[in-house]
Amino acid sequence: MNNRLVSGDYIIFIIYFIIVAFYGYWIYHRRKRRELDSKDFFLAEGSLTWWAIGASLIASNISAEQFIGMSGSGFKMGLAIASYEWMAALTLIIVAVFFMPIYLKNKIYTMPQFLNQRYNSTVAMIMAVFWLMLYVVVNLMSILYLGAIAISGISGLNVYVCIIMLAVFAILITLGGMKVIGYTDVIQVFFLVLGGLAATYIALNLIAEKSGQTGILNGFKLLTSQAGDHFHMIFGRGNSNYMDLPGLSVLIGGMWIANLSYWGCNQYITQRALGQSLNTARSGLLFAAFLKLLMPLIVVIPGIAAFVLYQKGMFQTEMLDSNGMLDVNKAYPSLLDLLPAGLKGLSFAALTAAIVASLAGKANSIATIFTLDIYKKAINKEASERKMVSLGRITVVVAMALAVVLALLLGEKLMGEGKQGFQYIQEYTGFVSPGIFAMFFLGFFWKKTTSNAALFATIGGFVFSVVLKFLPQMVDLSGLASTGFSKDNGSGVYEIPFLDRMTFVFILCIIGMYIISKIENSRGVQAKGLEIDAKMFKPSPAFLAGTLIVCGILTALYAIFW
């Protein structure tokens, strides 16, 4: 197979690059007539439309971990991995109805600001430092490495060169501020969806041709029949992938914690809607929910198609790692290699768009947290608007440089050698998300929650996660196998599925926070509340209609592929 781009592919990619660069420059130049302040740079306050918010949310979310990692999980376990996408659609609606009004009513612009306003500066500063480390060490590094692996597989360029090129492209977009990111993300999403659909079309058509038929509909029918075990959304306890997606936990357990923490308490996600009007923010989140319904068609179905083609004798060498073992993360790049000239360039541009948009969003959030929540509050309280914008740009460059170094040094060790990149990221992010979500959840909806209770969730949540992760090494948990809360990992050790661990940790955090708060309340400790009006949770009729459509589609999907 030829894994090189031809001139036509490069032309398409260059056209994409020119469109994004010039559109971003035009957006930046149009607003340069007035001095750029910090809220405009970090939040694009009041200037993003609903469709820009929705597109930017998806562009920041869909990256190498989905195109590469989720396609790899689709290859291994099938459509069930799409629960992360489809459950996210419903999560976005919940965030729009219940979380966003609280943020906007209380003029919250960053997650540490929320913690400072609701709890105290200690909680806010601890979490600000933590989020900076998480975004650089986990998010930026993983996206750079997985993205570079994919681009290298398509173009033939050296992986290290790809890492550096992606970082430079993302920096150029990020330096223009959130408004440039938000509006260029609309173009990024266009290329992302178009290129992703092109790859899916080619894969389904090829499967049909392999069986003497034609057309993508026939290809999909053959896909569901030839890989029938890959089209179940809910796994039974006997399924070999149960540890990754433990049955009903994807509907009533840890999947909710993962999604609500990610979409509702995550700076680089919520930042798109912060600073906008409530109706605009809600409309943008609803638009993103509809786009989420489409994503499995772009990132999961290709992985399943690659599995079927692999069973038919294709990709036998392309999907091997350096040790000669099957590497599921190479499913999507191997599939893209089948595309004809032109379409390969389009898919190459789509993949690059997804990676760059996600990098830009995270880099902007890093700059926002460092500048507004650390520098402005702890280092230089009198910093001018110009100074904060300049520092934000410097922070973007420094953060990206650190991520590049980490990707070059640790990327292969942490995410190479056939590991499911997407599941790897989800599991280790899950060490902290239950405590964070518990802290936000009670902070939103129980006004008696105290600052010490929040500190307990911050630190205790991580400790509980570590203990439950390594508990099977010390205690025999085989007795829980009949309940589904433990499963043999293949080496005789019964482990707790990580989504169930997240549920247990969340419950422990909630109980601990409740007890601590009640004790402190009895001693006269007064918690800091937020301004909440029940009327602000009422959605508009149009939003409600859109919600019903999303719920109807989700019900149908789970009913068909249960």
Please give the residue range of the domain that contains residue 449: 430-531
Is 226 a member of any domain?
Answer: yes
Q: What is the CATH number of the domain that holds 317?
A: 1.20.1730.10
Please name the residues in contact with 209: beta carbons below 8 A apart, sequence gap of 6 or more: none
pLDDT tens, N- to C-terminus, the chain (562 residues) = 445 677 888 888 788 778 777 777 676 666 554 455 555 555 555 566 888 788 778 777 776 667 777 888 888 888 988 888 999 999 999 999 998 888 888 888 778 888 888 888 888 888 888 888 888 887 788 888 878 877 777 777 788 888 898 888 888 877 766 666 666 667 767 777 777 788 788 888 888 888 888 888 888 898 888 888 889 888 887 777 777 788 788 888 888 998 898 888 877 677 666 667 888 889 989 999 998 998 888 888 988 988 888 888 887 777 766 677 777 777 887 777 777 777 777 777 777 777 887 788 788 888 888 888 888 888 888 878 788 888 888 888 999 999 899 888 876 666 655 455 565 666 667 788 899 899 999 988 888 999 999 999 988 888 988 888 887 777 777 766 666 666 666 666 677 788 888 899 999 999 999 999 999 998 888 877 777 777 888 889 999 999 999 999 999 999 998 8
Claim to verify: residue 352 and residue 377 sit in the same structural domain: yes
- Per the listing, tokens 């400072």 go with 116
Of the chain, the end-to-end C-alpha distance in Å amounts to: 37
Claim to verify: residue 261 and residue 332 sit in the same structural domain: yes
The number of angstroms, rounded, from the C-alpha of 303 to the middle of its chain's C-alpha atoms is: 18
Is 114 a member of any domain?
Answer: no
Claim to verify: residue 64 and residue 178 sit in the same structural domain: yes
Claim to verify: residue 470 and residue 540 sit in the same structural domain: no
CB of 392 closer than 8 Å to CB of 367? yes
Is 321 a member of any domain?
Answer: yes
Is 41 a member of any domain?
Answer: yes
Helices within 300-380 (DSSP H only): 301-311, 331-336, 343-368
Assign 495 to helix, strand or coil. strand
Claim to verify: residue 397 and residue 454 sit in the same structural domain: no
Claim to verify: residue 390 and residue 342 sit in the same structural domain: yes
Is 179 a member of any domain?
Answer: yes
Number of domain units in the chain: 2
Claim to verify: residue 444 and residue 301 sit in the same structural domain: no
Burial per residue of 467-502, b for 16 or more beta-carbon CB atoms within 10 angstroms, e otherwise: ebbeebeeeebeeeeeebbbbeeeeeebbbbbbbbb
Claim to verify: residue 452 and residue 552 sit in the same structural domain: no
Claim to verify: residue 523 and residue 539 sit in the same structural domain: no
> What gap in Å lies between CA 21 and CA 25, rounded to an integer?
6
Assign 82 to helix, strand or coil. helix
| Residue among 469, 456, 467 at smallest CA distance from 428 | 469
Is 2 a member of any domain?
Answer: no
Is 113 a member of any domain?
Answer: no
Claim to verify: residue 544 and residue 508 sit in the same structural domain: no
Please name the residues in contact with 279: beta carbons below 8 A apart, sequence gap of 6 or more: 540
Is 386 a member of any domain?
Answer: yes
Which amino acid is present at 16? Y
Claim to verify: residue 186 and residue 305 sit in the same structural domain: yes
Claim to verify: residue 442 and residue 366 sit in the same structural domain: no
Distances (CA, A) of 402 to 157, 352, 353, 398, 405: 22, 20, 21, 6, 5
